[in-house]
Amino acid sequence: MIPITAVDVSEAEPLVIEVLRSGDIAAGPMVQRLEDGFAELVGTRHAIAVNNGTTALVAALQVLDLPPDAEVVTSPFTFVATLNAILQAGATARFADIDPDTFTVAPDTVNAALTARTAALLPVHLYGQPADMAALAPLARRAGLPIVEDAAQAIGARTAGRPVGSHGLGCFSLYATKNVTTAEGGMITTDDDTLAERLRLLRNQGMHGRYDYALAGHNYRMTDLHAALGIPQLARLDELTAARRRNARALTEGLAGTPGLRTPVVGGHAEHVWHQYTVRVTEQARVSRDELAERLTAAGVGSGIYYPRLVFDYDCYREHPRVRTGPLPAAAAAAAQVLSLPVHPRLTAAELSTIITTVREILG
Ligand SMILES: *Cc1c(COP(=O)(O)O)cnc(C)c1O
């Protein structure tokens, strides 16, 4: 089976052993090293490590001190953590539609979703492709709204000359399947000294000095054992991303002209990091999207549907008092058509050609 993701953390062994031998296995020098690496990558003054990407989003929203009736405008086509974080932070979620080419929120629909209660924008850089920040950042500035970027899938991506995560509060995930992993982990990036200070307090029970509490906090800490896993990957990120880009190019060339299949489109100015390589299986295809996925599995090619439904399209959210839905035709069409194929850095040339020939055989 050619897996949809493959993780290699073997390079971290010496660092993990160093932590074990030090006896200092909770927060310490490795967390600091990982934070420094992230701040450098994103070009922000601060990076604050937390225990997962969902926590990063929750904490980012919490330090903004949103009013009780605050609405956060986000994408309906995302992993459920985006929505859960908004709800966990006590805010109301409102959705903008997506751009059908990039799968990220379309700025004109974000503009249309703004209300008197809108308190933050939460674009999602889906599949490793940045949302249109060149349009969203000025839109937020004009409306006086902070930006929280869900960059969980987009470590190292850039758009309009700037790294994702540098437009306000950047939230990254270091979960096992993400482009850089610490098994579980998250990171928040910001240039704002006050927010950074509050995030560090919030992460550690609101504690200034020993038993001196400045705010009602939580335990959002990352451990040194986890941080050690991510340090070598972050150091090699350019190389790992270059491999993803090469694989994406090979897939797009190899799959070009396949009937009923649309290969991914990279938006203008976007530097995509290919967390996922996601095609659309259109109505013209000989088989349905789901049948293509089944036949790929039978042929030993892994694939994934990210995501089969809009994020709120479940009873627990449809009936939730703090979820505001509406018609979102572009996102609904994407959910019905998308299929992600393996693009991870460990793919071999032979595996890439197996993926291409198998898809072409099934679609004719
Ligand atoms: C993975 C992911 C998250 C959450 O990250 P965890 O580390 O799993 O908590 C949030 N948003 C998106 C878009 C993700 O893909």
Please check the confidence at residue 23 and state whether its pLDDT lies above 90. Answer: no
Enumerate the H helices of 213-260 as residue ranges.
Answer: 224-235, 237-255
Quick: pLDDT tens for 271-315. 999 999 999 999 999 999 999 999 999 999 999 999 999 999 999
Ligand 1 close to Cβ of residue 271 (< 6 A): no
Pocket test for ligand 1, best of 150, 184, 274 (most atoms within 8 A of CB): 150
Given this model, what pLDDT does residue 24 score? 85
φ/ψ (deg, to 5) at 189: -115, 145
**Ligand 1 atom closest to 275 (CA):** 15
Q: Residues 282, 330, 73, 159: is their CA dihedral positive or negative? A: positive
Which ligand 1 atom sits nearest the alpha carbon of residue 186? 7
Q: What is the pLDDT of residue 166?
A: 98
pLDDT digits (tens, 9 = 90+) for 107-161: 999 999 999 999 999 999 999 999 999 999 999 999 999 999 999 999 999 998 8
Any ligand 1 atom below 6 A from CB of 150: yes
67-82 pLDDT tens trace: 999 999 999 999 999 9
Average pLDDT on 229-245 reads: 97
CA–centroid distance, 175 to ligand 1, in Å, is 7
d(CA 284, CA 261) in angstroms, rounded, equals 8
Ligand 1 proximity of 78 Cβ (cutoff 6 Å) = yes
pLDDT of residue 267: 86
Asked whether residue 331 carries a pLDDT value surpassing 90, the answer given is yes
Judge if the beta carbon of residue 175 lies within 6 A of ligand 1: yes
Looking at per-residue pLDDT, the higher value among 84 and 27 belongs to 84
CB 124 less than 6 A from any atom of ligand 1: yes
Answer for the pair 213, 206: CB distance below 8 angstroms, yes or no: yes
Q: Which residues are paired to 91 by β-bridges?
A: none
Residue 347 reports pLDDT greater than 90: yes
The whole-model pTM stands at 0.98
Average per-residue pLDDT for the chain: 97
Is the distance from CB of 352 to CB of 2 less than 8 angstroms?
no
